[in-house]
């Protein structure tokens, strides 16, 4: 059971569910309906878990080449590929049906679209081009839209702003990881930017660019009437902290600085979400 749970990448799935909950929070109108929230989060969690399992099934040979992934259930031999494949399919199908029948089919469709683009576009592109990171950021930004659709049955500008924040946040986060583990990625033949351009200059430039872009986008919820001034001040402060870590890594392209960017990104998103919930314009 522990190995099957590991296939679902619980930490990443938790981030997806949290982002979905934020989307639902801003999409709902009127009284809260507990079961609607449960169906939305449960269905999204199932599809996300299934996607993670199917991704590990697809990348099992590459994972065997990397030190940080070689002890996962498939490369280590603790689970057979067929077991992971059917487990992933079962979770994804269950999640899609849960969303379709328990919430609405728009939410289900968005989840399945996310799964398809992640598995059939982003994952194979990782072996071919560093632009895969950009492609993967699109399905990565979908959870707030899924949550919003689960609550409202439609998508509006507010949903897209939440998605844009998550879209931009991913680049410093994943480029920092790519820099820290570039030797691993190189052994596995994964064409991350630090593998293609080992001096790290382009990677640092990308981290800096998206850290800058994240600041104005992150304060849009205030100007769109979604949050209050406390959120805006907090978002600006967190954005400047994120930018500071990006500036440091651009000046000193080391694993230590990349890890600082990663740690800042891990703190940034939950704090931003907490500020959104604690300082709403409407209850």
pLDDT at residue 280 above 90?
no
Do 117 and 35 sit in the same domain of this protein? Answer: yes
What pLDDT shows up at residue 18? 96
pLDDT at site 143: 98
Same domain, 162 and 140: no
CATH number, domain with residue 243: 1.20.120
Best CA proximity match to 110, nearest among 70, 71, 152, 72: 152
Q: Are residues 142 and 160 in the same domain?
A: no
**Spatial separation of the C-alpha atoms in residues 210 and 165, rounded to whole Å:** 10
For the segment 43-70, the average pLDDT, to the nearest whole number, is 95
Residues 279 and 162 occupy one common structural domain: yes
CA distances from 54 to 6, 113, 135, 159 (A): 12, 15, 18, 27
Joined together, the tokens standing for residue 181 give 């583990």
- 201 & 283 share domain: yes
For the chain, the maximum distance between any two Cα atoms, rounded to a whole number of angstroms, is: 54
Residues 145-173, mean pLDDT to the nearest whole number: 97
- Residue 233 has a pLDDT of 96
Residue 227's φ and ψ, nearest 5 degrees, are -135, 175
Last-in-domain residue among 155, 175, 209:
155
Q: Are 151 and 57 part of one and the same domain? A: yes
pLDDT in tens, 108-125: 999 999 999 999 999 999
- Region 79-102 average pLDDT: 97
SS3 state at 62: helix
Higher pLDDT, 137 or 283: 137
* Neighbour count for residue 6 (Cβ, 10 Å): 18
pLDDT at residue 283 greater than cutoff 60: no
Which is nearest to 32 in space by CA: 142, 155, 150? 150
Strand partners, 227: 280
* Residue 171 sits in the same domain as residue 245: yes
Question: What are the backbone angles phi and psi of residue 66, rounded to the nearest 5°?
Answer: -105, 135
Please give the structure tokens belonging to residue 123.
């994952």
Give me the domain span that covers residue 208. 156-283
Q: Over the stretch 169-216, which tens digit does the pLDDT of each residue have?
A: 999 999 999 999 999 999 999 999 999 998 889 999 999 999 999 999
End-to-end, the C-alpha distance of the chain in Å comes to 40
Share the mean pLDDT of the chain.
Answer: 95
Domain final residue, candidates 108, 128, 155? 155
Do 206 and 272 share a domain, yes or no?
yes
Same domain? For 98 and 8 the reply is yes
Q: What is the mean pLDDT of residues 258-268?
A: 96
Q: What is the pLDDT of residue 71?
A: 93
- Cα–Cα distance, 178 to 195 (Å, whole number): 8
User: Do 22 and 82 share a domain, yes or no?
Assistant: yes
Domain match, 101 and 168 both: no
| The model's pTM | 0.94
The rounded distance, in Å, linking the Cα atoms of 182 and 255 is: 10
Confidence of residue 30 (pLDDT cuts 50, 70, 90): confident
End residue of a domain, out of 155, 176, 211? 155
Q: Provide the domain count of the chain.
A: 2
Residues 42 and 267: their CA atoms lie apart, in Å, by: 24
Q: Which residue, 254, 244, 20, is CA-closest to 146?
A: 20
So what's the pLDDT on residue 282?
Answer: 59
237 vs 67: which has the higher pLDDT: 237
Mean of pLDDT values over 224-241: 96
Are 171 and 116 part of one and the same domain?
A: no
Which CATH number characterizes residue 134's domain?
Answer: 1.10.357.140
32 pLDDT tier (thresholds 50, 70, 90)? confident
Alpha-carbon gap, residue 195 to 173, rounded angstroms: 16
Query: What ranges make up the beta strands (E) of 15-83?
Result: none
């Amino acid at each position: 059971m522990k190995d099957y749970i590991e296939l679902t990448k619980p930490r990443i799935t938790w981030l997806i569910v949290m982002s979905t909950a934020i989307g639902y929070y801003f999409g709902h109108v009127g009284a809260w309906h507990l079961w609607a929230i449960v169906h939305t989060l449960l269905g999204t969690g199932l599809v996300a878990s299934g996607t993670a399992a199917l991704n590990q099934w697809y990348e099992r040979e590459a994972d065997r080449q990397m030190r940080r992934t070689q002890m996962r259930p498939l490369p280590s031999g603790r689970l057979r590929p067929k077991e992971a494949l059917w487990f992933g399919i079962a979770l994804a199908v269950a999640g899609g049906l849960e969303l379709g029948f328990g919430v609405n089919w728009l939410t289900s469709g968005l989840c399945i679209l996310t799964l398809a683009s992640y598995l059939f576009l982003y994952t194979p592109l990782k072996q071919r081009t560093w632009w895969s990171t950009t492609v993967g950021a699109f399905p990565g930004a979908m959870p707030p839209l899924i949550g919003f659709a689960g609550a409202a049955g439609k998508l509006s500008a507010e949903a897209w702003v939440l998605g844009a924040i998550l879209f931009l946040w991913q680049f410093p986060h994943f480029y920092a990881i790519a820099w820290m583990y570039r030797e691993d990625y190189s052994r596995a033949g994964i064409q991350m930017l630090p593998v293609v351009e080992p001096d790290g200059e382009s990677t640092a430039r990308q981290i800096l660019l998206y850290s800058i872009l994240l600041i104005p986008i992150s304060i849009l919820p205030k100007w769109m009437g979604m949050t209050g001034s406390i959120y805006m001040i907090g978002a600006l402060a967190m954005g400047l902290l994120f930018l500071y870590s990006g500036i440091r890594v651009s000046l000193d392209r080391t694993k230590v600085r990349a890890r600082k960017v990663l740690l800042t990104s891990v703190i940034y998103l939950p704090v931003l979400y907490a500020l959104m919930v604690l300082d709403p314009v409407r209850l």
